[in-house]
Homo-oligomer: A and B are copies of this chain.
Amino acid sequence: MNKTNERKLTIARAMAEAVAQELRVDPRVFVMGEDIGALGGVYGNTRGLLEEFGAERIRDTPISETAFIGAAVGAAQDGMRPVVELMFVDFFGVCFDAIYNMMAKNTYFSGGSFKVPMVLMTSTGGGYSDGGQHSQCVYGTFAHLPGMKVVAPSNAYDAKGLMTAAMRDDSPVVYMYHKGLQGMGWLGTEPGATVHVPEESYALEIGKAKVVRDGTDVTVVSLGMGVHHAMKAAKELQEQGVSAEVIDLVSLVPLDRDTIRASVAKTGRLIVVDEDYMSYGVSGEIIASVTEHDISVLKAPPKRVAFPDVPIPFARVMEQFCLPNPDKIVAAWAGMQAA
């Protein structure tokens, strides 16, 4: 995936490119959200769109998430293909009804006679001391509730392909991008997320996990930022003579359980890395998905490296103490050996 020649893009630019390419060919697409016009999105993912497509199709909104996400549902049902932005996923609490009870369910409630082809893109993640209302992931919250696809890219190549796929999907897709991967320097970006991105439009299949590193001793499953932690940990483990396989979930809904199970069947060990709160979330689901399927393959109890069940603290030392990192993954491996 890491072609070093050619065309390295940040996730922000990859997202904007995907959106721009669809805007060019599909008149039904438009973009709506706070500060996505002149500012180009707080995270840069709509940069340049206003200039090319104008204010009718690139709409700054009032701070009225319930109204504009609800409006996107109505526009989608009326045949358009809105891409809306919820600036921080932390803000979902003011508008979740429009999301989980309407966007996600109207296809079902209408027996499929209404379609809701829209993309809800939203930023996740912490690590830069933005405090407990601006640093969350809440992956588990979105993935738990039926009716919406949920994807989370870990690099620019996937970011573009997933965005194109999301915009072309006839069902609502929640597109969760991690601030620390955006390629915005002011967010202390992870360089591994900035990769080669083909210029032409392409779509990834939604619902497929990726084995991003082959290994034989342990399977490390993660998404978004966690994939980069996992890759770093895998390198460190390799120095210890341990071969870690790394799986990038890419999509939480649908969840590609087969890929995870096949990997754990091979390695016999599972570590889940999740920046979201530990309990009742992604880490539990991955572990359950493996163990309910077959416990005989497991050589050790699965482990999780997740955010503890506390609000996200502001102070850097506290936040870093809570966040997953490569060291914690390596330690989880060590813990498995001890057990």
B108 touches A311 (CB 8 A): yes
A35 to B231, CA, bound (A): 54
Interface: A303 (CB within 8 A):
yes
Tell me the smallest distance from the CB of A304 to a CB of chain B, in Å.
7
Q: Which residues of chain B are near A143, meaning CB under 8 Å?
A: 279-280
Q: Specify which of A146, A280, A291 lies most central, judged by the most chain B CB atoms within 10 Å of its CB.
A: A280
A281 touches B133 (CB 8 A): no
Interface: A277 (CB within 8 A):
yes
Q: Which residues of chain B are near A2, meaning CB under 8 Å?
A: none
Chain A 82-100 per-residue mask, 1 if CB under 8 angstroms from chain B, else 0: 0000000011111111111
A15 to B109, CA, bound (A): 34
Q: Among A19-27, A48-56, A180-188, A294-302, which stretch is in contact with chain B?
A: A294-302
User: In A218-238, which residues have CB < 8 Å from any B CB?
Assistant: none
A100 to B280, CA, bound (A): 15
Tell me the smallest distance from the CB of A248 to a CB of chain B, in Å.
18
B90 touches A93 (CB 8 A): no
B133 touches A105 (CB 8 A): yes
Q: Which residues of chain B are near A253, meaning CB under 8 Å?
A: 279, 309
User: In A96-139, which residues have CB < 8 Å from any B CB?
Assistant: 96-101, 104-105, 108-109, 131-133, 138
Q: Which residues of chain B are near A40, meaning CB under 8 Å?
A: none
Interface: A140 (CB within 8 A):
yes
Interface: A1 (CB within 8 A):
no
Number of interface residues of A (CB under 8 A): 57
B295 touches A298 (CB 8 A): yes
Given contacts A144-B277, A284-B287, contact A303 B292 (CB under 8 A): yes
**Chain B residue with the shortest CB-CB distance to A147:** B311
B132 touches A280 (CB 8 A): no
B311 touches A301 (CB 8 A): no
A143 to B280, CA, bound (A): 6
A282 touches B285 (CB 8 A): no
Interface: A154 (CB within 8 A):
no
Interface: A67 (CB within 8 A):
no
**Chain B residue with the shortest CB-CB distance to A143:** B280
User: In A161-220, which residues have CB < 8 Å from any B CB?
Assistant: none
A138 to B146, CA, bound (A): 11
Task: Please give 5 more A-B residue pairs, beta carbons under 8 A apart, in addition to A109-B131, A109-B132, A144-B280.
Answer: A144-B279, A146-B310, A287-B291, A287-B292, A288-B302
10 sampled A-B residue pairs with Cβ under 8 A:
A93-B97, A108-B310, A138-B145, A144-B279, A146-B277, A147-B310, A253-B309, A284-B284, A284-B287, A295-B298
A99 to B141, CA, bound (A): 14
Instruction: Give which listed residue, B140, B255, B311, contacts A109 with CB less than 8 A.
Output: B311
B132 touches A309 (CB 8 A): no
